[in-house]
Structure 1
Amino acid sequence: MATNERQPLLRNRTEEARSGVAQIRAHEVTASAQDNPDYPIDHGYVAWMQVVGGFIIFANSWGLPNAFGVFQTYYVDTLMPDQDAASIAWVGSIQLFFTTIGCLPGGMLLDRGYLKSIIAVGTVLEVLGLVLTSFFKSYWAILLSQGVCMGIGSGLLALIPVAVLAMFFEKKRMLATGLASTGASVAGIAYTLSMRSLFISVGFAWAVRILALIILLTNAIAFAVMRLQLQYGSKGSKFGFHHFKDLPYTVFVGAFTLFVASSFVPFFFIQEYALQLGVSKDMAFNLLSIMNAANIFGRFVPNFIADRYGGVNTLLPLSVACIVTMCMLPLATTVSSLIAISIAYGFLSGGVIIIPGPTITDLSPSSAEMGVRLGLAYLVASFGGLLGNPLIGQIKGDGKDAVQNFNGVWFCAAAVMGAGVVALVATRWLKLGSPFTVGRV
């Protein structure tokens, strides 16, 4: 990384006003903007271009686990039929684990202003992982290339939209983050449909290489448009577990971890469940796309509400509704009921997946600590992503009754999310003094 790129992402504006000491600006800053103390907050061309760049980064980081179901089904049915579904799920979970755990180094580097370098390195690792995957047919090779290499690349990118948008938006922070995060759902739809079609038309190897090219080209756009605020002051927040002395933050991180462990379960297993019910392969593939389409609206409609009432207050009813929906999955045995459940869960889970990030920024006492506190939260939550889907998948039965086979999967995921709801209530209690107190949290 070039030395002239070193520049703190976030600043303490009070300290700046007191000190008046000029600092070297990041090289990402355009010359025309250097005459101003900061880019405009909550409006302006530059701010909304961060939403565009964030949309792309969300699509090519968090959007990839949303599309893993199409790989899961192809690996089980075609490429690795000797492997059971739970073993294949480890590939997606390892990828999700590294995507989440990579947020800590990504957040620390962002605090020091390495925006462009992170995008470049993350993109190279994603593309390399996909290209290597296209040549492999063995389980362990794909686990390392798609799960580890691609996951690390996604992890470096994954925190960028949340942290950067927190700099450019205050009153509209939840909404801006929600709009950008729809990229993950759009990617889940587009990548699922296109990869399924390409697997048939050009084969697995070239389909994966085409996906690598798409990621390379779209990330190049994000590289060009994304910016940092013109920051002064600290050299970035320091890594340390002392942040967990803040009890509301710590308990909320626990809730976030439980949500990560449970919220992706229907995305991973809805296709396999539908196939065991006797649904056609075409319809089973479409269910994941339908779920991701509904997830788009679930990522910005609840966020609009969260800007007014707070992230924790919005997450509570959303997560309870997700639990009810998962418990209703055993009743979905026809195509129409599966479509209805997919739409409902896709919408409700959108907020559960994306609201925790900007909520953590709201729970941070200082803007200069947002990067590392976000990174620490995602570090802990990564273990939920690593263990959730495979362990819950182990509960799946292998009998002839599809509903009985998956009952444990849906109810276990609902129970884990239920524990997250308890942690949300505790967060309100710690923050407001009582879980019943009216207040924005």
Structure 2
Amino acid sequence: MNNNTDIRKTSESNSLNSAAQLGDLSISAPQSDLNTKKDFEEKMAEPANDTKTPEGPPPDQGYAWVIMVACFVNVIFAFGSFNAFGVFQTYYLEVLFVDVPADQIAWISTLCGVFTLSGGLTAGPIIRRIGMRYTSILGTFIACIGLILASFSTKVWQLVLTQGVIFGFGCSIIVNISLTAPALWFVKHRGAAIGLVASAGGFGALVLIPVVTKVVEVSNVWWAFRVLCLMYFVCTLAGGMLLKPRIGYTPINKIIDFSLLKDPVAMYICLSGFLFNIGYNVPLLYFPASLVQMGKSENLATNLIMVFCTFSALSRFISGYLAKKINPIDIMIVSHAISGIIMLAMWYKATSFGVHLAFYFLFGFFGLPFFALGPVVTAGHFKHEKISQVNGLSYLVMGFAVLIGIPSLGAIFQTYGKRTDYSQIIIIGAIFYLLSVIPLVALRHYIKK
């Protein structure tokens, strides 16, 4: 174990990169060690040296919990607002733009999703110049500007620009920071902290969907934007004011670090995220509509979305907690495989409402661990200054998946499914989920080797 001793000595001499350098234990450790329960997360984040770092407060205690709460609140609104998008989409289709083709209206949600996922690549260079706290506050102002402008928008292209591009971009900055900060403050409980923060998007939908729905019912969508803007501003501004790195944190000064394109770990994470996201969009967008097709009410479908968000939020938190004892890559492999299988076994050609309901809840639990565990793998493998870049790159690729996947799925559903047959897109979703297992298996093999 001389290699491990050398790494520990290096960590003591350079505390800024201690957690990341100790993450290399997963590569240099004997293969037999990697098959035990002291898995990926523990080997990369457990050493006591990091708790004695003189340059900053000890991790996993004290202000670290303040950081976790602040990031949780930020993600409630940054991701929760997008999860509540269905309320706006319904209003656009049924009230505001009844004469506009649905594929044009879909560009509002598509670009909001793309920019929420991919815009975070700019966070690193901004943090380098103005710091983590002020970068998060900048994201708050950008997102709120988008919401205010959306509250005066009356055309599709205006909402594409305001709610889609501007609001989505502001959210992406906050999301990137909120997934990066816990990695700097937590070592022993890193997986649980990131998992809890990642789950906030699901919990946020439980808060925002009823609020937005009620405001739309008693007034209109424009006042819903203004109420959401006020809530967003107060909560994310407070969360942003609390943020700071534990020790000196200087991200690399690049929007895209092209050296990461040669890093197998980064590429495996990105490829799996791309494939998984296409598969995930199928039930996300089409399962509620399939219930209506079965004769169920739209109110029931909306309520089930909230139940789905509850299961997905619990899943992200639980998977992050389990990452302390089980290799997070193994959790994703099993979850993605189960998701693909149940899409074929329980949703494809199923006619029973009970089977559909069971599928939706199971999918909510097994379908989304990547959002929580992808950042855990990144934080365990890469140096602190590259964490934001890798998270941003993986979310950029997932943004491309949204940009490519949603219009393609819509075209297939329109052309081959005739807007009534969901079997083609269900098969596509299942295939992409199962394909996403391949780069995860390759990633596990590479790290073990």
Normalising by structure 2, what TM-score? 0.82
Q: Deviations over 1:89-134 (max 9, x none)?
A: 3322211111122111113333556212222221112112112222
Deviation at 1:149, TM superposition (A): 0.8
Equivalences for 1:196-211 in 2 at 5 Å?
196-211=213-228
The residue number in structure 2 matching 1:4 is none
Equivalences for 1:223-234 in 2 at 5 Å?
223-231=240-248
Residues in 2 aligned to 1:284 and 1:157: alpha-carbon distance in whole angstroms: 30
Give the letter for the 1:349 counterpart.
G
Deviation at 1:359, TM superposition (A): 1.4
Q: CA RMSD in A?
A: 2.6
The residue number in structure 2 matching 1:41 is 59
The residue number in structure 2 matching 1:341 is 359
Could you tell me which of 208, 220, 223 is aligned with 1:191? 208
Residue segments in structure 2 that go unaligned for 5+ positions in a row = 1-10, 18-52
The residue number in structure 1 matching 2:332 is 315
Residues in 2 aligned to 1:350 and 1:247: alpha-carbon distance in whole angstroms: 23
- The answer as to 2:428 corresponding to 1:429 is no
Residues in 2 aligned to 1:415 and 1:82: alpha-carbon distance in whole angstroms: 35
User: Which secondary structure does the structure 2 equivalent of 1:299 belong to?
Assistant: helix
Give the letter for the 1:372 counterpart.
Q
Change (3 A) 1:171 1:278: same
Give the letter for the 1:354 counterpart.
A
The residue number in structure 2 matching 1:176 is 193
The residue number in structure 1 matching 2:164 is 147
User: Which secondary structure does the structure 2 equivalent of 1:309 belong to?
Assistant: coil
Indicate conservation of the 8 Å contact 1:73/1:271, yes or no. Answer: no
Residues in 2 aligned to 1:135 and 1:333: alpha-carbon distance in whole angstroms: 44
Residues in 2 aligned to 1:231 and 1:13: alpha-carbon distance in whole angstroms: 15
Q: Deviations over 1:247-278 (max 9, x none)?
A: 23212211112222332332223332222322
Indicate conservation of the 8 Å contact 1:262/1:389, yes or no. Answer: no
- The answer as to 2:164 corresponding to 1:165 is no
Residues in 2 aligned to 1:411 and 1:319: alpha-carbon distance in whole angstroms: 14
Indicate conservation of the 8 Å contact 2:251/2:385, yes or no. Answer: no
User: Which secondary structure does the structure 1 equivalent of 2:436 belong to?
Assistant: helix
Q: Give the aligned length.
A: 402
Give the letter for the 1:90 counterpart.
W
Residues in 2 aligned to 1:258 and 1:318: alpha-carbon distance in whole angstroms: 14
Indicate conservation of the 8 Å contact 2:417/2:424, yes or no. Answer: no
Could you tell me which of 407, 411, 420 is aligned with 2:436? 420
Could you tell me which of 308, 323, 339 is aligned with 1:306? 323
176-185 vs 337-346, greater mean Cα deviation: 337-346
Give the letter for the 1:417 counterpart.
Y
The residue number in structure 2 matching 1:351 is 369
The residue number in structure 2 matching 1:3 is none
Residues in 2 aligned to 1:65 and 1:274: alpha-carbon distance in whole angstroms: 22
Residues in 2 aligned to 1:106 and 1:87: alpha-carbon distance in whole angstroms: 30
The residue number in structure 1 matching 2:13 is 14
Residues in 1 aligned to 2:347 and 2:85: alpha-carbon distance in whole angstroms: 20
338-347 vs 214-223, greater mean Cα deviation: 338-347
The residue number in structure 2 matching 1:438 is none
Change (3 A) 1:325 1:132: farther
Give the letter for the 2:334 counterpart.
P
Residues in 2 aligned to 1:356 and 1:248: alpha-carbon distance in whole angstroms: 11
Residues in 2 aligned to 1:356 and 1:112: alpha-carbon distance in whole angstroms: 27
Could you tell me which of 89, 92, 97 is aligned with 1:80? 97
Normalising by structure 1, what TM-score? 0.84
Give the letter for the 1:205 counterpart.
W
157-166 vs 124-133, greater mean Cα deviation: 124-133
Residue segments in structure 1 that go unaligned for 5+ positions in a row = 1-11, 19-34, 434-441
Deviation at 1:408, TM superposition (A): 1.9
- The answer as to 2:385 corresponding to 1:386 is no
Give the letter for the 2:198 counterpart.
S
Equivalences for 1:242-253 in 2 at 5 Å?
242-253=259-270
- The answer as to 2:83 corresponding to 1:66 is yes
